[in-house]
Every structure is written in structure tokens, then in C-alpha cells.
Amino acid sequence: MTAFILRRSLQSIVVLFIMSLIVFVGVNLVGDPVDMLINPEADQAEIDRVIRDLGLDRPVSEQYWYFVLNAFQGDLGRSFIFGEPALKLIVQRMPATMELALVSLLMAVVFGIPLGIYAGLKPNSKFSKTIMAGSILGFSMPTFWVGIILIMFFSVHLGWLPSTGRGDVATYFGVTSSAFTLDGLSHIFLPAFNLALFKLSSVIRLARAGTREVILQDYIKFARAKGLAESRVVRIHLLKNIMIPVITIIGLEFGSLIAFSTVTETVFAWPGMGKLIIDSIYNLDRPVVVAYLMIIVVIFVMLNLIVDILYSVLDPRVRIKGVS
Amino acid sequence: MEPILKINNLQTHFFTKAGILKAVDGVSFEIAAGEIVGLVGESGSGKSITGFSVMGLVDPPGKIIDGNINFKGKDLSALSNDQMQNIRGNRIAMIFQDPMMTLNPVLRIETQMIEAIQAHDGSISREDARIRSRDTLGLVGISSPDERLRAYPHQFSGGMRQRVSIAIAMLNRPDLIIADEPTTALDVTIQGQVISEMQKLCRETQTALLWITHDLAVVAGIADRVCVMYAGRIVEQGLVADIIANPMHPYTQGLMGSVPSQNQRGKPLQQIDGMVPSMLNLPVGCAFQNRCNYANEKCSNIQPDITQVADGRQVRCFNIPVGQRL
């Protein structure tokens, strides 16, 4: 296991390096941040001074060299706009995004798996057909549009739930989250549901497809032949077998939940990383964009690792080399 | 001896879009305690469905529509699913064809064994159930059963897995085991071991065994009596020695002739001409008529009844070929 984790970490460093190269060159191609930063009435001397201060007068290769050197010391650059370390800005906003992603993931799993299994066990019932039709809607409707409709219906029309912000937060065990207060929960419900809808639909479809396949296997019939209660057949024999593909998708999608929560965060004015990255892209705040993308890469790599480890827990046939 | 299982006129039909498929159409036979009965037939003859009907495990669109399955005085076909659940795996157990598929790949052997015990005995402790599982594994010839309990199915060979399935079937000391082609997927050498193991266990524990197979040679080796099925009906039944020595139904004769043997070396192997008729579109009269050398007009108009031709010997044919008659 240790060898496996080490090897994966080395691979991650290579991925991180290549990614940083692409991102760094990429942000240098899209627009000149100086135009955004300085007073339009500034004279040439002033402009030159700003360019020199930001280090933009050096060749890209040299800028990259310094970026890498600093990165090894945990410094991913300073935001042009806020003048603060980019990493600090992102880390400050990370809890908000994390809690949003976690709550939507929870929603997707808690509702998706039972609904999917039900639809798989009783494929011809009316309710199953409704579930499946709903899941098609779920991933064909654009997230921003669903978000707006949710706000219109639940916030404006019914007035049940707030439409913007994080609400009250509370801290337990060193974790600050709005999921710990009633007000916070009411704030998180709509954005989390909005973000979860797509994942919920894919979890439903995966769980259903898995159920349809596994239920026909001899080992399910054999489990019934042993006289087990149907609930045990479904909860143990079926569930454990369909969890393998579901875990893969959940793991990988969790990364995309974090990375692409930008749309939902924008619609619901959620003060998370997604909102920050959108603002930074508008302002051509290069260090923040680069730092953000680096962090996303790290998150993806870590999630992949966790998924691989979970596999071996769920499926004894998958043996991670170095274990046995 | 009083039979423990008495099936009378069992009708299990499948209600498909293409029509009603009479997979089991009026099957009757008995098994006494400790007896081994072979149920022989080709694929699609309804032999497995007969087994699943007894277990109450016929998948939709299949349904038992008539007949009764009398097991120790109770009609199983009239029981609710909950009542049936108490009998399945407890009084009647089943072993499946493909040992690679019958054990759940993600659960330890001990989990799969202990749950089978605890499903029928709510008061037994996990530890006691584990001890019983271990002893049963030892009984079916698995060495170091204590270690093997912790293993997963993929760590066993096919023959070993089938022994595990047999052990699971025997866990609750059932009165009847239904074995659905349990040796078909195994090597011949392993086949022999499993057969003699089963035979020994059933003799020792007085467990009745319904052995479903397409292989007459296997039946000859293990069974006391044989029922031959064709197109959802039993066409011949009797003691195994009698049937092997003197098959009366033309289909049984064909089956016997299709087994390669020493006496026929160098000669072309006999075959039964033609195909099994579609179960959705069975001919009027005898289902075997289109493949039978003795068929006449009567066979294509009237469905022959199964008739007693000697003590314990029944045949469903109008024209028991000359020379075969008793």
C-alpha cells in the first residue's frame, strides 16, 4: 500500500508540473492584466513601473522559473487585485465550496442510490418510470437555468428559502460550516440541490443499470435460495456489488463538483472558490487563476487515489500491488 | 417409505409477449427421504424450472398455475413468500450449475455461510454459526476450513467453490437438496469427486436429493431413480438400473444411444434427428413425434398419457418399441 501511494504521489508531481506549464503559458496568452490594473490616466512611466513591479517585463520562461521556485516554498504568487497571497485567498474561500460540494454529494448519494435501486428492481412500475424520466431532465437542463428557476420558485414565489449567501455559520471540532446552523442549512439547500441535480441523475442511472445487471446474477438467486430476507439480499448482496461503479463516479465527480461549482456559486452568490475564480478570470488576476487550477489538480489527484483505495476495500478481487 | 416430496401435476407457465410458454406441463413425481432422484432432459425441457418451482424461485413472467408440491404434508405452492423463505435454505436447499457465479464475489465465505444459518435461527450466536460453518466446510472436504472461511470466492478453484456451495446447502441439515447440474461446469475428475461426496453425505444424513442434469452417465452413477423430461413433461421414469438396461421411451433410447460407448467404437454415433420443438408452439399429440422413428397417426393427434408399465416404471408412449416391452 505504501509503495502504491508513493508511486501515485510521484505520478501526481509529474501531472502537476505539466499542468502548471500549460496553465502558465495559457494565462499569458489571454489579455494583458496591466490594462485592467492601472488608472487609465496613468502616464507611460507609471505603466512601466507597474509592469516592472509585477515582473511582467521579464520573458515568460523566466517568470515561470520564479513561479516554480516560489511554488516549492508554498508561495503561488500574489493576487494583482487584492495584493494578498493567492493561496491564502483561495484557502479562505475553500470551506464554503467544500461544504456546498459535500452537501450536494450527500444529496446525490442519499437520494440517488435508493431511487436507482428501486427503479432497477421494479423497472415497469409507474414510479420507476417517473424516476428515470426525471433523471433525464436532471442532466439535460443547464445548471444556471435550473438555479434561476429554483430561486424564482422557492425564494421569490413561495418565499420559503433564501436565495443568496451562506447564512449563519457555526464552528464545531474546528470546522466552520453553515451546515451546523438552521439558518445556514436553509441557505445551503437550494444551491446544493442545484449542484446535486446532475450528479443525482447520474447516480440514479448508474445504480439502476447496476441493479438490473446484478439482480440477474446467480449469486442473487443463490442468496434467495438460502432463505435470506429480501431486504438482506438487496442491502448486502446487491448493494455491495453495485457500489463499485457508483464509487468511481462519485469520487471523480466530487472533483468536478468542486471545480465546476462556479456556475452555482455565481447564481446563488455563494462566497466560495468558484466565485473567486470567475472574478479573477474577469480581472485577469493571473496568480489567482494559476493557483486555483493547481489546487484543483491536487484535489483531482487525491480523489483518484482515494477511489483506488476504496476499490480494494469494496472489491477483494482488486488487489493493490504491494499489499499482499 | 412415505415420500417427503410429492409433486402432482405441476404446471409452471411463462407468460411472455410471444405467448404462453408451458415450461413445466403436468409434472408428477415423488422423492422419499434419503433417496436420490435424477431429473434428466435436454436444455429447455423444463427440468431446472421444475427445481425452481419447488424452491418458489420462479422469476416473472413465470408462474405456477396449477398442481401441488407436497413437502412433508404442506403444499408449497400455496405458501406465502414469507413462509416459503423459512423453508428455503432450511428444509430445502439448492445447488446451482456454475460454481463461479453462485458465490457473491465481494463477500467472505464466512459471511455467506453465517448469514444462511442466522436467517433460519435468530438465536444462534455469530461464533456458534461460525463453528458450524467451519465444521460443514470440513465435511465437504475442504482442508484448513478455519483459514478458508476468511477467504473470498475468487481465491478458490471451481471445484472448491462447488464444495463451498454444497456446504452452504448442507448447513441447516435440509431434508431435500435440489442440485441443478452441479457438476456440469467441472472437470471430469472433480466431477467424480463431487458426485461421490454428495452421495456419501446424502446417505449419511438421510437427505433426499433431486439431481437435475442432462448427463445420463452422471445419473447412472448417483441416482436411485430417474425421471426423463421432454418438452415440459416426464416421458419415462423408473429405477435407474431398469432404465439403463431397458429404455422404453424412444426419447430415452435416443439419449442412451447418444452417449459414446466402448461397444460402438468406430461406428457413427447415434443421434436424435431434428430439434426440440418450440415450447411456444408444441404440436398436437406427442411432443416427440417429429423426431420419433415409431410415430404414427395416433401420435400426431392424441397426447399420450403417462402409464404404469411395471412396478415403479412409467412411460408416456403409445408404441413402446417391440422388444422393449415388459
- Tell me, what's the pLDDT at A315? 74
- Tell me, what's the pLDDT at A59? 79
Q: Which of A 200-229 lie inside 8 A of B, CB atoms? A: 217-219, 221-229
pLDDT at A115 exceeding the cut of 90: yes
Q: Is A324 on the interface with B (CB under 8 A)?
A: no
The model's confidence at residue A113, banded by pLDDT at 50, 70 and 90, is very high
pLDDT in tens, A141-161: 888 888 888 888 888 888 787
- Tell me, what's the pLDDT at A111? 93
A72 inside domain: no
Average of per-residue pLDDT across B34-47: 87
Q: What is the 3-state secondary structure (H, E, C) of A159-184?
A: CCCCCCCCCCCEEECCEEEHHHCHHH
Q: Which residue is closest to A244 within chain B, CA to CA?
A: B106
Rounded Cα gap, residues B132 and B130, in angstroms:
5
pLDDT in tens, B133-150: 998 888 888 888 888 888
**Averaged pLDDT of chain A:** 82
Interchain contact, A225 vs B154, CB within 8 Å: no
pLDDT in tens, B256-297: 877 777 666 777 777 777 777 777 878 788 888 878 877 777
Nearest-CA neighbor of B23 among B56, B55, B51? B51
pLDDT at A321 exceeding the cut of 70: no
Question: CATH for B3-91+174-260+269-315?
Answer: 3.40.50.300
The model's confidence at residue B322, banded by pLDDT at 50, 70 and 90, is low
CA angle A151, A154, A157 (to 5 degrees): 95
CATH number at residue A248: 1.10.3720.10
User: Into how many domains does chain A fold?
Assistant: 1
A267 inside domain: yes
Instruction: Please name the helix (run of DSSP H) or strand (run of DSSP E) that holds residue B94, with its range, or none.
Output: strand B92-95
A310 inside domain: yes
A53 inside domain: no
Beta carbons of B146 and A310 less than 8 angstroms apart: no
Residue B181's SS3 state is: coil
pLDDT in tens, B8-39: 889 899 998 888 888 888 888 889 888 899 99
Beta carbons of A198 and A162 less than 8 angstroms apart: no
Q: What is the DSSP string of B217-272?
A: HHHHHH-SEEEEEETTEEEEEEEHHHHHH---SHHHHHHHHTS--GGGTTSPPP--
pLDDT in tens, B160-205: 888 899 889 888 888 999 998 888 877 788 888 888 888 888 888 8
A148 inside domain: yes
Model ipTM? 0.86
- Tell me, what's the pLDDT at B1? 63
**What are the chain B neighbours of A316 within 8 Å (beta carbons)?**
105-106, 108, 152, 154
The model's confidence at residue A127, banded by pLDDT at 50, 70 and 90, is very high
Single pTM value for the model: 0.78
Q: Is B317 on the interface with A (CB under 8 A)?
A: no
Interchain contact, A315 vs B106, CB within 8 Å: yes
Residue B71's SS3 state is: strand
pLDDT in tens, A252-284: 778 888 877 888 888 888 888 888 888 888 888
Interchain contact, B105 vs A228, CB within 8 Å: no
- Which distant-in-sequence residues (6+ apart) come within 8 Å of B298 by Cβ? B285, B318
- Tell me, what's the pLDDT at A323? 43
Query: A171 or B208: which carries more pLDDT confidence?
Result: B208
Rounded Cα gap, residues A89 and A93, in angstroms:
7
Beta carbons of B49 and B39 less than 8 angstroms apart: no
- Whole-angstrom CA distances from A162 to A104, A146, A153, A267, B196 are 17, 16, 11, 13, 73
pLDDT at A9 exceeding the cut of 60: yes
What is the interface size between A and B, counted as CB pairs within 8 Å?
A: 76
Q: Which residue from B85, B104, B120 is facing A219, i.e. has the nearest CB? A: B104
Rounded Cα gap, residues B285 and A45, in angstroms:
108
- The three three-digit cell numbers of residue A288, written as one number: 489567482
Rounded Cα gap, residues B277 and B292, in angstroms:
12
A279 inside domain: yes
Q: Where are the domains of chain B?
A: 3-91+174-260+269-315, 103-171
pLDDT in tens, A53-96: 777 777 778 888 888 888 788 777 778 778 788 888 888 888 88
Interchain contact, A227 vs B89, CB within 8 Å: yes
pLDDT at A322 exceeding the cut of 50: no
**Averaged pLDDT of chain B:** 85
pLDDT at A309 exceeding the cut of 60: yes
- Tell me, what's the pLDDT at B290? 79
Q: Is B179 on the interface with A (CB under 8 A)?
A: no
The model's confidence at residue A295, banded by pLDDT at 50, 70 and 90, is confident
pLDDT in tens, A213-240: 898 888 998 998 988 888 888 888 899 8
- Tell me, what's the pLDDT at A189? 84
Q: What percent of chain A has pLDDT over 70?
A: 93
A58 inside domain: no
Which residue range forms the structural domain that includes residue A247?
86-314
